[in-house]
Structure 1
Amino acid sequence: MVKLSVPGIPKALPTLSKAPLIPLAQAVERITEFLSPGNALVLTGAGVSVDSGIRAYRGHDGRYLNPNYKPIFYQELVDPSPTGHLFRQRYWSRSYLGYPPVRDAIPNPIHYSIAALQYGKYCSSVITQNVDGLHKKASPTEDMRRRILELHGTLFTVHCKHGHMFGRDGYQVRLEDLNPTWKPLADKVGQELRTNPDGDVEVIGMDFGTFNIPSCEQCENDGITMTIIKPDVTFFGESIREPVKDESYHLVEEASRLLIIGTTMATYSAFRLIRHAVELDKPIILLNVGPTRADTLEAVEKIELPAGDVIRAVARALCGPKAQTDPVMRTLLTSGVVRAVKTGDRGAG
């Protein structure tokens, strides 16, 4: 039996980052200078979506905010046995409750500031570990959206094991229709029940075995009775698709520098991109509060400040003059809603 574990920050790292604290104005000046040549790649994690009301996995000390967090692994989700079906019932019941808050989340000033940097040609591309789609919501053009790589996929599409793809919104309606007894719980999400970055909600006292999972309609039309449905996201224990992996390396290689925002890089899929950038001698700045997996890499310059105020000020410094004549830029620099989260829910990716 293969032993599976949730990725985390290596235990050898200190529990608190040793990056020297610098004033906000100095951080803004440094990152503005860093991005001014253009052609930067921005890599983001769950920390950039916290101001949109989506709780991060980890707090400022690098530990999971929910110490009892037990995600479902890919091997469990796709197990064709009755045990696997129970895992799928657990996943889809919790995701049924957690998807609407992610679906309805609004980009915050960090998302719009990064979009402004991309629109102003200071940032060439964005790689995000987030599956919430907020970077794309903040992007004003289709060309910019094509330059956003969702490293771990997206919650907004679903597929079955036979490759049939369909939208999550329609599947959400089917989940609701088949599970009316679960609907009252939806009103508690965001209050008694909290949503994780992947749309998962911790539910206590409900029998997952009563949850009905809709089948793939196209499989039904083709006479296929046994199928397994999963969201188009990379689960723990699942490999990133080779085209996505190749594209992520390509974006690192074509960029002249790398700015990392709001992530601990606990997942190796992100950390290996940093290592690749180091091997290519790319300048790297990491903006994050708390310890990260990259803290031992001497080539990475770390700034330990919350991203919100820093990135918005950087975007205004670099893109502000263009906003005087460009209404799109002006909108990007003045958009974004900050949704308060409970104390202790803030953190890094």
Structure 2
Amino acid sequence: MRLSVPSIPLLSTRPPAPTRSLQEAIERVAAFLLPGNVTILTGAGVSVDSGIRAYRGHDGRYMNPNYKPLFYHQLMDESRAGHTFRQRYWLRSYLGWPAIRDTTPNPTHYGLAALQYARVAPRIITQNVDGLHHQALNLRPGIKNNSVLELHGSLHYVHCKHGHAVDRTTFQDWLSAANPQWKAFLDETERTGNKPRTNPDGDVAIEHLGTSYTSFIVPQCPSCLLEDRVNSVHKPEVIFFGESIPQPVKDQSFRDVEAADRLLVIGTTLATYSAFRLLKRAVELGKPVLLLNVGPSRGDSIEEIDRIDMPSGLIIRDVVRAVLYVSPPRNYDSKKLTAAPIRGTTASENPVVAKMLQSGIVKPPEDDTQPGAR
């Protein structure tokens, strides 16, 4: 399955989600999580409080009406045209990387991490490429693990067309060394605070710079040079539009849904089919599904799912406390997990849980007043 540009209208004949008070929303989400063994699917909306812009606003429309994604075949094209595409992409990424690198998790990331730590929701599938779920669990971003499945990859690693991988910070240093004039430009934006607008995938808009990106140098792969090959075709470990999601990742996403008793979907319009099909699979298996998102989504047409129209950051800490600080329900089947969940007094006195529920920044982008989702 290839990742295609979402072009579906996020509209349906189904009535909007009913209006709920904060307390009603907290109680509804907590009740959904309380039985445990939940898989959570997240989108760009969960990272808005960390300062990363969402793709879509509260009305389901793209925040940037001129959004034109770079396709996989364009990035990997070895012709002169492909070289120009890579210059443009890597300049945009070079200028946007510091904002992604320095971003830290918000209360939603830490709240979900607490649910994972307590083994109530042991699996997270995320469409995000920012690595913030990993950071909240004190894991190294981009490293594969059983706790967080990055459906669309990670910005934290880069590989060349021959498979040589390097971490993104090192690659940033290569770009700086090859482009001292752009390094000076980036340093000046850092010094003045006049930073360019960073998009969810870690790049920035450079239209105002005209065609100056044609001076940007994409460095040769050092490992390829040691193998007597000249190669400057590099790609972040992110699934581009037109690129297939690796089969192992696709298979694992279905296993994570099938292993759960229920599916909680947070901060996503489900516009990409790679995520929407997971919701469909849960419904096919008769698993309860709850969607917590702002505005319309592709899931609105599915009658079987419950919906709450609200940003997760407003309620997540209270939800987690309501779930963890009570004893497990009598009908809880701990045999489905590798270990019993941490609940009740054990959770309320646990220093890791306490720290997670006190952690997280809330610093949404200044010019995006309405959280949206991918």
TM-score using structure 2 length: 0.87
Would you say 1:205 and 2:229 are equivalent positions? no
Give the direction of change, closer, same or farther, for the CA distance of 1:16–1:278 in structure 2 (3 Å limit).
closer
3-state DSSP class of the match of 1:295?
helix
**Amino acid of the residue matched to residue 209 of structure 2?**
G
Q: 1:94 is matched with which residue: 86, 92, 95? A: 92
Q: CA offsets per residue over residues 220-241 of structure 1, 9 Å max, x none?
A: 1001113521000000111100
**Amino acid of the residue matched to residue 231 of structure 1?**
P
Would you say 1:104 and 2:111 are equivalent positions? no
Q: 1:82 is matched with which residue: 62, 80, 87? A: 80
Q: 2:51 is matched with which residue: 50, 53, 59? A: 53
Aligned equivalent of 2:237 = 232
Structure 2: runs of 5 or more not aligned: 326-344
- What is the number of residues matched between the two proteins? 345
CA distance in 1, matches of 2:129, 2:70: 16
CA distance in 2, matches of 1:127, 1:93: 29
Moved over 4 A (4+): 14-17, 140-145, 189-192
Aligned equivalent of 1:149 = 149
The answer as to whether partners of 1:110 and 1:311 remain within 8 angstroms in 2 is yes
Would you say 1:293 and 2:298 are equivalent positions? yes
Aligned equivalent of 1:36 = 34
Q: CA offsets per residue over residues 170-196 of structure 1, 9 Å max, x none?
A: 110010111122234435477452111
- Superposed, which structure 2 residues align to 1:1-349 within 5 Å? 6-8=5-7, 10-11=8-9, 13-14=11-12, 18-140=16-138, 146-186=146-186, 187-188=188-189, 191=194, 193-203=196-206, 204-206=208-210, 207-320=212-325, 321-344=345-368, 346-349=371-374
The answer as to whether partners of 1:136 and 1:145 remain within 8 angstroms in 2 is no
CA distance in 1, matches of 2:94, 2:144: 30
CA distance in 2, matches of 1:327, 1:342: 33
Greater CA deviation, 228-237 or 337-346? 337-346
CA distance in 2, matches of 1:152, 1:197: 12
3-state DSSP class of the match of 1:303?
strand
Q: CA offsets per residue over residues 127-182 of structure 1, 9 Å max, x none?
A: 00000000000004799953100000001111111111111111100101111222
CA distance in 1, matches of 2:138, 2:42: 19
Q: CA offsets per residue over residues 301-347 of structure 1, 9 Å max, x none?
A: 11001110222211121224444321111101111111132143532
C-alpha displacement at 1:14, in angstroms?
Answer: 4.6
CA distance in 1, matches of 2:243, 2:234: 15
The answer as to whether partners of 1:15 and 1:61 remain within 8 angstroms in 2 is no
TM-score using structure 1 length: 0.94
CA distance in 1, matches of 2:144, 2:225: 37
Identity of aligned residues (%): 53
The answer as to whether partners of 2:41 and 2:126 remain within 8 angstroms in 1 is yes
The answer as to whether partners of 1:16 and 1:291 remain within 8 angstroms in 2 is no
Give the direction of change, closer, same or farther, for the CA distance of 1:342–1:219 in structure 2 (3 Å limit).
same
The answer as to whether partners of 1:127 and 1:151 remain within 8 angstroms in 2 is yes
Give the direction of change, closer, same or farther, for the CA distance of 1:75–1:15 in structure 2 (3 Å limit).
farther
C-alpha displacement at 1:112, in angstroms?
Answer: 0.2
CA distance in 1, matches of 2:175, 2:33: 45
Greater CA deviation, 339-348 or 103-112? 339-348
C-alpha displacement at 1:17, in angstroms?
Answer: 6.9
The answer as to whether partners of 2:10 and 2:298 remain within 8 angstroms in 1 is no
